[in-house]
């Protein structure tokens, strides 16, 4: 069964999940929930994931994932390759819809509304839930057009002046304005790797999303560009809910407030980051973050 | 020793070896400090000049191991960025060796008092109670080091509680020594030396207790400093998992 942790959030056990125990039920029936900080976290949760399972063809990649992701916080997803963290991330903006033979069961709600409801417009959803990828992927257009493209597409601006303002605001928020303000017409691909990644972040925030998903956003960058991105993430959390997948444990420890540890498709442990990195509850988590044989 | 499995299962063999080496050196430091205390007590109680000299001139060895271990722990922090139990282990070691070094200093102080007493009429000072306190504190230090070596929380709690007896004994000694000074003002210099020695022993008891607290921190992930003995026992009994 699932055990409620004293520091909030929940801790699961893979073997017990395998017994098909729905975590949400335990949370609902747990009397301690009212006095538990988890209850507060749940109230402020931006994203609620309930019993989410995912299959690629016949292969199950996620098993009954339950997570409450708090608003305006950074939540890190960690775990070994193939543990399902990126698959999970892609469920949050329905990117997996584009993958053939994917089956998804369970639900994710954004602000208490299901994102898997048939009435949901996926393009609209993705304007609320932006994504930044591992490798910077600016459009083969100018810096300006990289930012302007989506707001124009979504009809968010009515004049060129408004668009100019939005481009400037987005680039400023992404910490890139000073570096590119005199070369907005230069191709986005001409920027350095770190700048390109910040351009992609500026592009994501130009449509004023609620949530930004980041899939190893700094793994292709040098330590200085990485530090800049991490600093940016810290600033962005004042405005956005951020979910970041990273293989860099120190990065997860540095940037996130909460961390979920995935292993073989299960969420093994989800807790505030300090607790998870100093006194993890599950042996599997301990083994992974300390570099032991699991 | 600490369950060896904890330190031999890292994917990095070098990391396993580094942690094991650090623990071995902590134990070596503990053994040295124990010996210093034992020698200091013999010097004090039996008026053994040679032992007193050995303690006073030997403290540098304790200091040297502390510096060496600090450096090794710094390397681990910088190069490995330890997490979870590895992080708690390194923190526990850094804290424990600070206490061990201070215990060494207290031992040296007792040694100095013993030598000072030898220069005076040491027979004028009542020694039997201090001898008993010394025995109690020596046992406590050994127990704390054993608990640390095995990371045994139960023993850590038991040993920590012995500090209550040490404190009570210390207070009793102080009362008696004050009375002794009133009755024999000529003996004040000697009694003062014994008082300082008793004070050092009492401090060693406190530091042995600290070491026990680090054992609870390592094993349970709970910081039990500045808590009651009951709370310490409760945290030690609780399962971290």
Contact by Cβ (8 Å): B104, B36: yes
Q: How many C-beta atoms lie closer than 10 Å to residue A19's C-beta? A: 8
What's the confidence (pLDDT) of residue B124? 72
* Cβ–Cβ gap B11/A278 under 8 Å: no
Confidence of residue A10 (pLDDT cuts 50, 70, 90): very low
Tokens of A215: 């899939």
Confidence of residue A294 (pLDDT cuts 50, 70, 90): low
Res A32 pLDDT > 80: no
DSSP string, chain B: ---THHHH-BS-HHHHHHHHHHHHHHHHHHHHHHHHHHHHHHHHHH--HHHHHHHHHHHHHHHHHHHHHHHHHHHHHHHH---HHHHHHHHHHHHHHHHHHHHHHHHHHHHHHHHHHHHS-GGGS--HHHHHHHHHHHHHHHHHHHHHHHT-HHHHHHHHHHHHHHHHHHHHHHHHHHHHHHH-GGGHHHHHHHHHHHHHHHHHHHHHHHHHHHHHHHHH----TTS-HHHHHHHHHS---
How many whole angstroms separate alpha carbon B51 and alpha carbon B140? 22
Mean pLDDT across the stretch A100-106?
A: 95
pLDDT digits (tens, 9 = 90+) for A148-168: 999 999 899 999 999 999 999
Confidence of residue A13 (pLDDT cuts 50, 70, 90): very low
Compare A170 and A22 and report the one with higher pLDDT: A170
Mean pLDDT computed over every residue of chain A: 86
Res B126 pLDDT > 70: yes
* Cβ–Cβ gap A278/B83 under 8 Å: yes
In this complex, which of A250, A289, A293 lies closest to B84 when CB atoms are compared?
A289
pLDDT digits (tens, 9 = 90+) for B22-52: 999 999 999 999 999 999 999 999 999 999 9
Q: Does B5 touch chain A (CB under 8 A)?
A: no
Mean pLDDT across the stretch B129-157?
A: 97
Confidence of residue B3 (pLDDT cuts 50, 70, 90): low
What's the confidence (pLDDT) of residue A3? 29
pLDDT digits (tens, 9 = 90+) for A249-271: 999 999 999 999 999 999 999 99
How many whole angstroms separate alpha carbon A254 and alpha carbon A285? 17
* Cβ–Cβ gap A285/B240 under 8 Å: no
Compare A66 and A15 and report the one with higher pLDDT: A66
Res B239 pLDDT > 90: no
Res A87 pLDDT > 60: yes
Q: Among residues 78-107 of chain B, which lie with CB inside 8 Å of chain A?
A: 81-88
What's the confidence (pLDDT) of residue A29? 33
What's the confidence (pLDDT) of residue B240? 56
Res A287 pLDDT > 70: yes
Tell me the chain B residues in contact with residue A285 when contact means C-beta distances shorter than 8 Å: 84
Please report, for chain A, the start and end positions of each structural domain, with discontinuous segments joined by +: 3-289
Confidence of residue A220 (pLDDT cuts 50, 70, 90): confident
**The pTM is what?**
0.83
In this complex, which of B11, B88, B241 lies closest to A281 when CB atoms are compared?
B241
Q: Which domain holds residue B72?
A: 5-237
What's the confidence (pLDDT) of residue A1? 24
* Cβ–Cβ gap B10/A282 under 8 Å: no
Res A22 pLDDT > 50: no
Confidence of residue B57 (pLDDT cuts 50, 70, 90): very high
Tell me the chain A residues in contact with residue B10 when contact means C-beta distances shorter than 8 Å: 290-292
**Total structural domains within chain B:** 1
What's the confidence (pLDDT) of residue A25? 29
Res A18 pLDDT > 90: no
* Cβ–Cβ gap B83/A282 under 8 Å: no
* Cβ–Cβ gap B10/A287 under 8 Å: no
> Which chain B residue shows the shortest CA-CA distance from A13?
B241
What's the confidence (pLDDT) of residue B55? 97
Comparing A36-45, A199-208, B145-154, B185-194, the range with the smallest average pLDDT is A36-45
> Which chain B residue shows the shortest CA-CA distance from A286?
B84
In this complex, which of A278, A285, A292 lies closest to B88 when CB atoms are compared?
A278
* Cβ–Cβ gap A291/B11 under 8 Å: yes
3-state secondary structure A134-177: CCCCCCCCEHHHHHHHHHHHCCCCCCHHHHHHHHHHHHHHCCCH
Best residue in B14, B82, B221, B241 to probe A by mutation, most A CBs within 10 Å? B241
pLDDT digits (tens, 9 = 90+) for B187-231: 999 999 999 999 999 999 999 999 999 999 999 999 999 999 999
Q: Does B240 touch chain A (CB under 8 A)?
A: yes
> Which chain A residue shows the shortest CA-CA distance from B222?
A279
| CATH number of the domain where residue B47 is located | 1.20.58.220
Q: Does B128 touch chain A (CB under 8 A)?
A: no
Q: Measured between CA atoms, how close is A5 to chain B, in angstroms?
A: 9
> Which chain B residue shows the shortest CA-CA distance from A269?
B241
Q: What is the CA radius of gyration of chain A?
A: 19
Tell me the chain B residues in contact with residue A277 when contact means C-beta distances shorter than 8 Å: 83-84, 87
pLDDT digits (tens, 9 = 90+) for A39-62: 455 457 899 999 999 999 999 999
Res A21 pLDDT > 90: no
Q: Is domain A3-289 classified as CATH 2.60.40.10?
A: no
* Cβ–Cβ gap A278/B87 under 8 Å: yes
Tell me the chain A residues in contact with residue B85 when contact means C-beta distances shorter than 8 Å: 286, 290
């Amino acid at each position: 069964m699932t055990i409620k942790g004293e520091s909030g959030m929940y801790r699961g056990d893979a073997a017990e999940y395998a017994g098909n125990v729905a975590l949400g039920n335990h949370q609902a029936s747990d009397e301690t929930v009212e006095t538990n900080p988890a209850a507060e976290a749940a109230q402020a949760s931006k994203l609620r994931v309930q019993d989410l399972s995912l299959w690629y063809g016949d292969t199950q990649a996620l098993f009954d994932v339950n997570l409450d992701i708090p608003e305006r916080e950074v939540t890190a997803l960690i775990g070994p390759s193939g543990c399902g963290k990126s698959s999970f991330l892609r469920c949050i903006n329905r990117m997996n819809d584009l993958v053939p033979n994917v089956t998804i069961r369970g639900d994710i709600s954004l602000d208490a509304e299901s994102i898997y409801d048939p009435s949901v417009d996926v393009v609209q959803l993705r304007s609320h839930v932006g994504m930044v990828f591992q490798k910077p992927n600016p459009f083969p257009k100018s810096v300006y057009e990289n930012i302007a493209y989506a707001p124009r597409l979504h009809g968010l601006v009515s004049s060129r002046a408004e668009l100019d303002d939005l481009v400037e605001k987005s680039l400023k928020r992404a910490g890139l304005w000073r570096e590119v303000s005199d070369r907005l017409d230069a191709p986005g691909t001409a920027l350095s790797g770190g700048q390109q990644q910040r351009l992609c972040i500026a592009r994501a925030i130009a449509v004023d999303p609620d949530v930004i998903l980041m899939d190893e956003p700094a793994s292709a960058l040098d330590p200085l560009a990485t530090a800049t991105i991490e600093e940016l993430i810290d600033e962005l959390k004042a405005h956005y809910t951020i979910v970041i997948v990273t293989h860099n444990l120190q990065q997860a420890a540095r940037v996130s407030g909460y961390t979920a540890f995935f292993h073989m498709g299960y969420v093994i442990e989800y807790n505030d980051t300090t607790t998870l990195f100093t006194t993890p509850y599950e042996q599997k988590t301990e083994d992974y973050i300390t570099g032991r044989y699991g | 020793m600490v369950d060896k499995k904890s330190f031999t299962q890292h994917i990095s063999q070098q990391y396993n070896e580094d942690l094991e080496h650090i623990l071995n050196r902590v134990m070596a430091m503990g053994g040295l400090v124990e010996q210093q205390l034992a020698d200091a007590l013999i010097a004090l109680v039996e008026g053994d000049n040679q032992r007193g000299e050995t303690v006073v001139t030997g403290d540098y060895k304790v200091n040297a191991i502390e510096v060496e271990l600090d450096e090794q722990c710094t390397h681990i922090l910088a190069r490995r960025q330890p997490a979870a139990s590895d992080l708690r282990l390194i923190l526990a070691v850094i804290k424990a060796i600070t206490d061990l070094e201070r215990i060494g200093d207290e031992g040296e102080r007792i040694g100095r008092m013993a030598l000072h007493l030898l220069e005076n009429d040491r027979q004028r000072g009542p020694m039997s109670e201090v001898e008993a306190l010394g025995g109690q504190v020596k046992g406590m230090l050994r127990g704390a080091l054993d608990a640390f070596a095995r990371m045994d929380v139960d023993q850590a709690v038991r040993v920590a509680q012995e500090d209550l007896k040490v404190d009570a004994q210390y207070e009793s000694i102080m009362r008696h020594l004050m009375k002794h000074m009133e009755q024999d003002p000529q003996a004040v210099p000697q009694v003062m030396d014994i008082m300082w020695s008793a004070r050092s022993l009492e401090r060693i008891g406190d530091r042995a207790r600290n070491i026990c607290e680090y054992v609870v921190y390592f094993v349970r992930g709970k910081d039990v400093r500045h808590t009651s003995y009951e709370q310490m026992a409760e945290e030690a009994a609780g399962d971290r998992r």
